[in-house]
Amino acid sequence: MPELPEVEVTRRGIAEPLRGALVVAARLGKPLRWPLGVAPTDLVGSVVGDVTRRGKYLWLPLLARPLPAEPPGCPGGLLVHLGMSGSLGWWPQAHEPGPHDHFDLVTDRGALRLNDPRRFGAVMWSAGLQHPPAATLLARLGPEPFDPALTPASFHAALQQRRTPIKSLLLGGEVVVGAGNIYACEALFQAGIHPALAANRISRPRAQRLLAAVRGTLARALEVGGSTLRDFADAHGVAGAYQTEAAVYGREGLPCPQCAAPVRRQVQAQRSTYFCKMCQRR
């Protein structure tokens, strides 16, 4: 599943070519997780603004065309989620869609295309980030990992209010967004924390180490283009490389890089968790 690093890598790949681009056509393929919310033709005539990200969502603001004599298009914007297997590609020219290409936004500079084999992704129009459906979906998200307002003290305080196993809590995005399965496993390993430890039992020093590990893991993933386990590629078709550096994720039975004990795997909330029993204490 594309997580925060993959979504941010995608944003960086499409932001510049889309900024100021005029929408000339839009196409819907098979139904996605949620409906678009407007007719595709309503998007025509708008200009794309600065693409931003919140958690695993991308926001593509659509502005009125700055020519008063022309149709204003559809002001508001598009909230995009890549789901379980989606990716956004940028093409200099639109070409015939394949069976898993479910949305095209065609501009005077090129075409943005959502490919999603499992169709859990979504492209939704919203009147703004403060209006539904965008406001409803984004309201559930915790702090961004690199937000200066997220301090070790506030992170620890949030953990103290929850008895959930720390791995599951990280995946839920309530205390910090972006630590998907691979990154949660790696951050917990770096911090020396067992994935099944209840969040409210984590001390202040350990919480500080965990927050630093989450930030370090995500920063490194961004540097190498995210992770490609199955389907993900950036907007220009380049796969991520973080999975090749993982210390524990996907390494069941292989030696821990710190102590050489075999890496273990267990299932938490229907997700595979990888950890070292010797290095990660409860």
Is 204 in the active site?
no
Q: What is the pLDDT of residues 169-226, one digit of tens each?
A: 999 999 999 898 999 999 999 999 999 999 999 999 999 999 999 999 999 988 887 7
Asked if 2 is an active-site residue, the reply is yes
Residues 6 or more apart whose Cβ sits within 8 Å of residue 209: 190, 191, 192, 193
- Under a CB-based contact definition with an 8 Å cutoff, are residues 109 and 21 in contact? yes
| Catalytic residue from among 12, 220, 271, 277 | 271
Structure tokens at 35: 């409906």
Give domain 4-138's CATH superfamily: MutM-like, N-terminal (3.20.190.10)
Q: Which of the following is catalytic: 2, 5, 143, 145?
A: 2
Domain-by-domain residue ranges, the chain? 4-138, 152-275
Domains 4-138 and 152-275 share a fold: no
* pTM score of the predicted model: 0.89
**3 carries an active-site annotation:** yes
- Residue of 53, 56, 113, 206 marked catalytic: 56
Query: How is domain 152-275 classified at the CATH fold level?
Result: Helicase, Ruva Protein; domain 3 (1.10.8)
CB 178 within 8 A of CB 161: no
- With pLDDT > 90 as the criterion, what percentage of the chain qualifies? 75
Options 3, 6, 8, 186, the catalytic residue: 3
For the segment 41-93, what is each residue's pLDDT rounded down to a tens digit? 999 999 999 999 999 999 999 987 654 444 445 569 999 999 988 899 998 88
Residue 16 known to be catalytic: no
Tokens linked to 186 = 């790696």
Tokens read off for 3: 């997580």
